[in-house]
Amino acid sequence: MAPAISVPVAPEVPATLASSAAREATVAAAAPAALATQTVVVDPPPKQPVTQTVVVDAPPKQPELGVSGATPINTVQRNTASQRRVADERPIARRADVSVRADVARNLASARASLDKDDLMPARRALMNVLAEQPGNGQAQQMQTELASREAERDSLLGYARLCARNGQWVCAWHNAGHALTIDASSQEARALLSRAIAEQGAHASRSFDPSLPGADNQ
């Protein structure tokens, strides 16, 4: 028979003390866990504005304007308007040309008639109108040469008439002024000198014949 082994028995702990100790142990064990799992709430940083880059297609590039600022469309429109204007101006130009030719013909006829009547001033005016329109008109140039020759002859005769009038030679003045007037019927100077010469010569003739003088009846 085996010898009996005595096992020491732990002293019995009162139930109240045991439950108190158990609660303390539970709290002690839970405290670190609570500390470990505590959540710290931190305010998030302010949200930065998000800059969004939007890529927009650039508008189509307009054609560069030249010095005149004309686009191809404007150039076509301008050319069309120019052609229309030229077409409209052609009848006007033709009418103007017809009018010019009519004026030239009328002035040439007037100049010829004036020269034939020894009326030099109207002839000169008509020829100037012709040459203003047609500087190279041969008929006008020919009549202008004839006119210049007659005017030179008239001026020479008027010069003699003036000289005679200054010297009191009224017959001489009468003769030269009258000749100048036959060359140019429009010369006012020739007409004035002729009238004066006639008047002076008539007065001289009256003074030369005095009825009161002795022997006047026998003259």
C-alpha span between 77 and 70 (Å, rounded): 10
pLDDT value, residue 148 = 98
Give yes or no for a contact between 216 and 210, defined as CB atoms under 8 angstroms apart. yes
pLDDT value, residue 218 = 43
The per-residue pLDDT for range 129-143, each reduced to its tens digit, is 999 999 999 999 999
pLDDT value, residue 167 = 96
User: Helix, strand, or coil here: 205?
Assistant: helix
Alpha helical stretches, state H, 56-71:
none
The per-residue pLDDT for range 190-201, each reduced to its tens digit, is 999 999 999 998
C-alpha span between 33 and 112 (Å, rounded): 142
pLDDT value, residue 156 = 97
C-alpha span between 38 and 198 (Å, rounded): 153
Backbone angles phi, psi at 48, to 5 degrees: -75, 140
pLDDT value, residue 204 = 74
- And the tokens for 197? 């010469």
C-alpha span between 111 and 58 (Å, rounded): 76
pLDDT value, residue 199 = 94
Per-residue pLDDT of the chain (219 residues; tens, 9 = 90+): 555 555 454 455 444 445 555 555 554 454 444 444 455 555 555 566 555 555 555 566 665 554 455 556 677 677 777 776 765 566 665 666 778 899 999 999 999 999 999 999 999 999 999 999 999 999 999 999 999 999 999 999 999 999 999 999 999 999 999 999 999 999 999 999 999 999 998 887 766 555 554 444 444
pLDDT value, residue 212 = 54
193 CB burial (10 A radius; 0-12, 13-18, 19+): buried
pLDDT value, residue 216 = 42
